[in-house]
Structure 1
Amino acid sequence: MLASSSAHDWQQTVDPKNATLRGVDLNLLIVFDAVMQEQNITRAAKNLNMSQPAVSNAVARLKVMFKDDLFMRKGRGISPTLRARQLSTPVRQALQLVRNELPGTSFDPATSSRIFSIAIGTPNDVRFAPELIKNTAKKAPSVKLNLDSLGGTSLQERLIQQEIDYIIGYTYFDNADFVSTEIFSDELVVICAKDHPRLGQSSKISMEQLLHEQHASLSPTSDVMDLNHIVYKDLQVQSSYRGATLGNLIAVAAQSELLCVVPRWVKEFFPTSLELHAMPFPGEQTQIRAYLTWHESRQNDAAHIWMRDQLMAVCGEVVAKG
């Protein structure tokens, strides 16, 4: 529990020109992290099992320590200043490193109430979410999963800020701050309508035919643009339709003369009533790899290691069955 000294007392006991860890109450960083995550004093106090006045007092001391307002009132909550946002990631990572090394921090899935946030880009959310939920409920009944199908460029920042714990998707994060490991691969196929006038009865498609035909491709605003980029990065094709999801592409291709390129399992997932025809992708890259990614600061966290193992195992089982 934090001491109840005032911001005035704190200002008197710490010489800002010679501040060291000996003169800093590190418990204040725990309060800072909680308030930063909740952006609400009352909720932060509840999470910390502290009184609201004690948290408010700690925030006042933090303001003196960092010479910044840190949090400004906004409606019924508070909004972090630029300085608070700059401090958020290093403080959270430092606290996590300390927690990882504390005695008695072993993770017991049977009793833990940990919350894990996982970003699974569509369409893999539909593929894996049901089994992930069932597996977690069976092995860790009090653990909560927050599964998010949204993707986009903000994922990397959310991983840094530790707003999410993992990403499952087709993007490999080539950065020392992240760890990406391949967890499965999918065969790429070209989809068209079964009654397509030129390709409906073909067992294969040439690259020349692929480039000549009109395509249904993903919109630039799609959350799975990484898949679109991987497939079409070296191909110049004409897209007559741009959709938000792979399901949209397949539905349009099934009812027109457009083609789309998707992982084979996506085609198998859709009802046969769509009358789809699949051919092997004629490019050099006939497989697309998917990765599990997390921030390197979580590398040795016992709880994260357990959940990583679960994610890799469940995804592997689903792919094997598919």
Structure 2
Amino acid sequence: MSDFTTEIKTKQPEAETHLRNVDLNLLTVFDAVMQLQNITRAANMLGMSQPAVSNAVARLKVMFNDDLFVRYGRGIQPTMRARQLFGPVRQALQLVMNELPGAGFDPNISMRQFNVAICSPLDKRLTSQVLNAIDTLSTGVSIKLQTIVNDNIEHQLRYQNIEFMISYRKFERADFCNQALFNDELVLVAAKNHPRISPHMSDEKYLKEKHAVMVLDRFYSFSSAYYDDPELQSLITYQGTDLFSVMEIVSKTDMVALVPRWLAQSNAGMLNLSVIPLPWMKNHLTCYLSWHESSSKDKGNMWMKSLLSQCVLSL
């Protein structure tokens, strides 16, 4: 027991000395260069000269024993090692920033870019409102919206490669936060000349039809929550990548599809579709804004969360 204790006591100072020899200010340079992938723009954001940032990057390469950044066109591109480091480094910096006195966020002077994942068809409903709101309220803040969502989304949110996700999916893990934005009413759509569809559809008739759905992916799909039952999956004849293409196919066939009422009403005339209510089933689906708890105290994220919530009120 005494030998084990002695070993711990001799190793601990060595680790502490190693950390004291690291210039932690270099990590803020790494974070800025990773965000902007341009030395000049990173220097401007940090209030440093370009040579000073280049020198810091050279020291970072020695610290991590990796090139970290390689030239790409007029900018630079991070290596795989840099991409692996970005999430943990950014999360650590944010934890420190959150505890500093007077830590705040001013959208009028900030050059921060927010990354938001938004699932189809919500992108069609919210994207223009979000972009217009940012243009109105801020001259420096920008936002990047993406509709490509996969099984890696939890990792991206945890390390703030993506700050928020807007979807019909609620994250159940304790370290994720969810805010309900609104409820969408579901309706059934079918071609106007469909031989069996009427405003007085029943559950029995509904289950005899061929169905068109979005791809059944648990993170991305609008449809997956309604076709978990293998018996219902047997009704599926067509899987599309987005609901508009699904509705277009439905308008030209005898298939039917579940879509939000707002999407059905905005396209029914153009596509010559019938819109049928669904009183026999749970016909409301909640849209959520989700983020990782580690970013909850980030003043910038709090500002963006408020803006996204306000955009919903204008719908």
- TM-score when normalising by structure 1: 0.80
1:54 matched residue in structure 2? 52
1:218 matched residue in structure 2? 214
Alignment of 1:88-237 (within 5 A): 88-199=86-197, 201-206=198-203, 208-219=204-215, 225-234=220-229, 235-237=232-234
* Superposition deviation, residue 19 in structure 1: 2.4
Q: Distance in 1 between matches of 2:15 and 2:152?
A: 38
Residue 297 (str. 1) matches residue 294 (str. 2): yes
* Superposition deviation, residue 267 in structure 1: 0.2
Residue 71 (str. 1) matches residue 68 (str. 2): yes
Counterpart AA for 1:34: A
- TM-score when normalising by structure 2: 0.82
1:80 matched residue in structure 2? 79
Q: Distance in 2 between matches of 1:135 and 1:40?
A: 27
Could you say what secondary structure the match of 2:174 adopts?
coil
Is the CA contact (8 Å cut-off) linking 1:261 and 1:281 kept in structure 2?
no
* Superposition deviation, residue 241 in structure 1: 2.2
1:35 matched residue in structure 2? 33
Counterpart AA for 1:239: I
Q: Distance in 2 between matches of 1:52 and 1:134?
A: 33
Residue 267 (str. 1) matches residue 264 (str. 2): yes
Q: Cα 1:215–1:36, aligned 2, differ >3 Å: closer, same or farther?
A: same
Q: Distance in 2 between matches of 1:34 and 1:140?
A: 20
Q: Cα 1:224–1:189, aligned 2, differ >3 Å: closer, same or farther?
A: farther
Could you say what secondary structure the match of 2:161 adopts?
coil
Q: Distance in 2 between matches of 1:315 and 1:166?
A: 15
Residue 24 (str. 1) matches residue 22 (str. 2): yes
* Superposition deviation, residue 182 in structure 1: 1.2
Is the CA contact (8 Å cut-off) linking 1:243 and 1:249 kept in structure 2?
yes
Identity %: 40
Aligned length: 299
- Let me know the Cα RMSD of the aligned residues: 2.8
Q: Cα 1:310–1:162, aligned 2, differ >3 Å: closer, same or farther?
A: same
Could you say what secondary structure the match of 2:314 adopts?
helix
Counterpart AA for 2:226: V
* Superposition deviation, residue 211 in structure 1: 2.4
